[in-house]
Amino acid sequence: MKGIMWSIAVITASLLCGCGSLLPSEQAEAQSPFNDYLDAEIRYSQAQPGKTSRSELFALGFDPLTQGNGKMLSFIDIRLMFVQANIPISYLPDGLVQCLEAKDRCIGYAFEFNKTDTQRTGSFWADVMNFRKQRELKGWAFRAVFVLVDDTLVHKVSNGEPNIRRNEVKRNPLGPLQGAGEFFSDQLK
């Protein structure tokens, strides 16, 4: 009898220790030709206003048709993006002024690439019973806008998050009963 109880205790402990791997995980990636943030930043820096052509920009990986995750911007889109009511046109960078003067000969491309990995961490039982849910998010995000006049790059701007690290904790003191009122009210509708 003592041997059976010992075996049950060992099996139970093994199952409980391995439960953390049973928590869900999630990966999200806006497909890109870049391995990571640094790769995107290096290729972005290779695009030179006044020198880089549209085909050279596409060769660097900033091609909305083949690489995806890019928006094609009209002259009006660019104007709305960069021109503010309280900022005089003369304050804008030369490339943007050149775009505004070129009107229909001016186009733009806006890209957003990211890769994130979300892991649920913490106690399996606290998560399953809805008492406490912990998530750890890691990844990167890179955004860039290119403005071209007559197929030549005249302005570029970028921003992003090279090293995303977030921890989220959601506590529900009532565990599985938390939100039950909302559930039942939704069922009555």
pLDDT, one tens digit per residue, over 78-134 is: 999 999 888 888 889 999 999 999 999 999 999 999 888 888 777 777 677 777 778
Q: So what's the pLDDT on residue 187? A: 58
Average confidence score pLDDT of the chain: 82
Strand partners, 160: 142
Flag whether 3 is in a domain. Answer: no
CA–CA distances in Å: residue 152 to residues 58, 104, 109, 144, 148: 12, 14, 12, 16, 5
Q: Give 175 or 180, the one with higher predicted confidence.
A: 175
Flag whether 4 is in a domain. Answer: no
> Domain total for the chain?
1
Flag whether 7 is in a domain. Answer: no
Flag whether 168 is in a domain. Answer: no
Helix (H) or strand (E) holding 160: strand 152-171
Q: Is the pLDDT of residue 1 over 60?
A: no
Q: Is the pLDDT of residue 11 over 60?
A: no
Q: So what's the pLDDT on residue 55? A: 96
CA–CA gap between residue 149 and residue 50 (Å, rounded)? 10
Of 43-47, 49-53, 100-104, 182-186, give the lowest mean pLDDT range: 182-186
At which residue do the structure tokens 């020198």 appear? Answer: 51
3-state helix, strand, coil in the chain (%, to 5): 40, 35, 25
Flag whether 111 is in a domain. Answer: yes
Flag whether 56 is in a domain. Answer: yes
Owning domain of residue 36: 23-117+137-161
